[in-house]
Structures are given as C-alpha cells and as structure tokens.
Amino acid sequence: MLNIIIAEQLTKLNYFRSLGTSLIVIIITAITANLGVIPASTNAPPLYDGIFNYLAPISIFYLLLTVHLKGLKRAGSPMVINFLIGAVGTMVGVIVAMRVVGGPKGFGPLFYAVGGMFTGTHTGGSSNLNAIALHYGVNKAGNVYAATIATDNIVTALWMVVTLLLPPFLNRFFPRRLTTNLSAEETRRFEQEANDQINDLEAVNPQDLAILIGLGVLALYGAQLVTQYVPDIPKILVLTTLALLLAQLPGIQRLRGVRVVGIFCIYLFLAVIGAFCDLAALVKDGQLALTMLTFVSISVPIHALFQFGIGGLLKQDWDILGIASQANIGGSASCLALSKSLNRPDLHLPGILAGALGNAIGTYCGLLVAEYLRTATFT
C-alpha cells in the first residue's frame, strides 16, 4: 500500500510523470523485495498467489465494466474503421517481428505470450497486457514481465511524439485536415466529456461498493465453472466476455467507483509483479531488453504502415489517423493528450471511445496472436 502511495506521489513530479504509476509501482516493490523489506519470489507468501489468482482477474473485470459499446457511434465511423485497421496492423507487426527475433531464441519459452501481451497492449491498453500475462503465467516470470512493461512505456512515450509530429507533416504535403468551427461552449463541453471518460476520481457509496465486490467474485466464480466444464475456453476470455456483456446494462453503468476499484486492484497486482523481479538478473540480462527494443522497432512501424498507408490511400484526415494510431498503441488517456496537442477538440471523445474499443477487443486479439505463435514453426 505504501509503495502505491509513493508511486502516485512520484507521478506528480515532472521527472517521473512519463514513467506512469504502473511502472513505478513495479520498480519500487522490486527494490523493497530485493532489499528484503517484503518477501520476494523465493519465499513468496500465500498472499501473492491470492492476488494473482483472484484479485488480478477481478481487476480486469472491473476495468472492462467501464466499456460502453453503445457510445461507439459517437466516435464516428472514420475513427472506428481506422482504429480497426491499426489493430490489424498491430497483429501483423507482432507476428512479423517475432519471426525476425526468432521467437523462442529471442524471448525464451514464453515468447508466444510476450507476442500476445504486445498485441493486447498495442490494440488498446495495458489491461489487455495484464489479461494475457495472467492467462499464460508470465506474471510469475517477473523479469520478462517488467521488461515488457518498461518497453511498452518507452514505446508509448515515443509514439506520442511521432503521432504529434506526423499529422502536421503529412498535411503540409497532402492537405487533408478537416476544418472545424466549434464554439467556445462546444469546445468546453467536448473536453469535459472526454475528461469524465478517463477520470479516476469518483464518489462511491457502500451499496455500490458491495455490488461491485459481489459482481467481481460471482464473475470469477462463474468463469472458473465454465473452464472447469469446458477446459479449452480460457478463464480470462470468459471473464472478459462477461464483463463486456454486463457493461452494456444501464444498471451497471450507473455504478460508481468501478474505475477507482479496478485501478487500485491493478496496482496491487503490479506490486506483486515487482516482488517477483530479480533486479540482479534483470540488470544482467541486457540481451532481453535489447531484443524487446528490436521487436517493437519492427512491430510498431508495421502498424504505422497499415494505419497511415491504408488511411492515406483512403484519403482520411491525418489527425484522425494519428489519434486512431495512438488509441492502439497508447490507449484512451494518451488519445486525449494528443487531440489537445493537435488542437482538435472535436476528436477528444472519439479518440477516447476508440481506446475503449481497444480495451474491449485487445484480449481477444492478444490470445489469437499468442496461440498462432505457439503453434508456429521457428527456424
């Protein structure tokens, strides 16, 4: 709990803001575990398994309860279609990049899971990455997980710069920016709606909290029952589908505290990931970090080729393509920052909604790619 508090405070400082709370929680807990302040993986208490087996999947369930697919019509067909093109580009990019780095030669026996994790996170956000990691047990390979998170953070930061510079550059040679004539009132309204979508400050009452906790436990129990009778169906897939179905119900949409409870549970899960990190091994294994950087330097440009290449042929607005790409690689929050930087208040909400679509489909895409890679032949 203290590590979460420290991480939240550090992200308020300029030097640490770009790292994000998730990565800082992992780093701080890894340090305290390696110093012996809390148990490490070698003497892991039952609490760690409890968080992996129960709290982590429930946290993903909570975050998906915020995905209201009905609102996607407000994103507009250009944003949704271009986002889906980018998602296909991500899947193709991951498969090609995995072949270039040699699959098991580059990432070891969990190579297919790493490919699925990058597919998930580069289709809509880190909740998808966590879902894939839980399904394949990467959460207990602390060093691999930490390296994946760190690489993902680096890519997200760099891609923000790319998607900020690329649309104005392309508009200079191929002018396609749509003119918007929004009033000051409309601009303020769009910004408020967008901020409400990603705000992690919520008022919550005991009744809503009781409903949330009960729903999470029942959903996890139901998912375990399904996989008990049909072992071929991944538990995380059942939980994801159940969350998306429930999220469309008006009564669930009125619940308060869903995002706060979900994010808090995710931070606890990431803290245990940090406890499983062997810092000495992580520092020593520079080859893993180098391979991951090589991997994303191939997969992300292929995504960009799909996103901007096909979008360019379809004569799409470059700003929409940039925000759709950012929705894939960085998720909803970074979309809002990008649309503000591009001075496109009309795209604030569409970008965030595209990111929500990524949260909805990212786990499915990640599992699909992971299973394909697991059965693929690498020479």
Per-residue 3-state assignment (H helix, E strand, C coil) for 30-90: HHHHHCCCCCCHHHCCHHHHHHHHHHHHHHHHHHHCCCCHHHHHHCCHHHHHHHHHHHHHH
Q: Per-residue confidence at 78, pLDDT binned at 50, 70, 90? A: confident
Distance from C-alpha of 223 to C-alpha of 60, rounded to nearest angstrom: 13
Cβ neighbours for 246, distance < 8 A, ≥ 6 positions apart? 65, 215, 219, 252
Structure tokens at 307: 């996103």
Q: What is the pTM of this model?
A: 0.79
Question: Which pLDDT does position 97 carry in this prediction?
Answer: 95
- The mean per-residue pLDDT over the stretch 51-63 comes to 86
Predicted pLDDT at 294? 92
Q: How many CA atoms lie within 13 A of 313 on its CB side?
A: 6
Query: How far apart are the C-alpha atoms of 254 and 251, rounded to whole Å?
Result: 5
The Cα-based distances of 89 to 153, 160, 167 in angstroms read 19, 18, 18
Residue 182 pLDDT: 54
Least confident segment among 173-177, 183-187, 210-214: 183-187
* pLDDT for the residue numbered 44: 81
Q: Return the CA Rg of the chain.
A: 20
Q: Are 8 and 200 in contact (CB under 8 A)?
A: no
Q: Say what percent of the chain tops pLDDT 90.
A: 27
Taking 80 as the threshold, does the pLDDT of residue 362 lie above it? yes
State pLDDT tens for residues 215-268. Answer: 999 999 999 999 888 888 888 889 889 988 998 899 988 888 888 888 888 888
Segment 96-122 mean pLDDT: 92
Confidence of residue 126 (pLDDT cuts 50, 70, 90): confident
For the chain, first and last CA: distance in Å? 46
Mean pLDDT of 188-204: 64
pLDDT tens for each residue of 261-300: 888 888 888 888 888 776 665 565 667 878 888 999 999 9
Question: Which of 115, 31, 108, 105 is closest to 283 using CA atoms?
Answer: 31
**Per-residue pLDDT band at 49 (split at 50, 70, 90):** confident
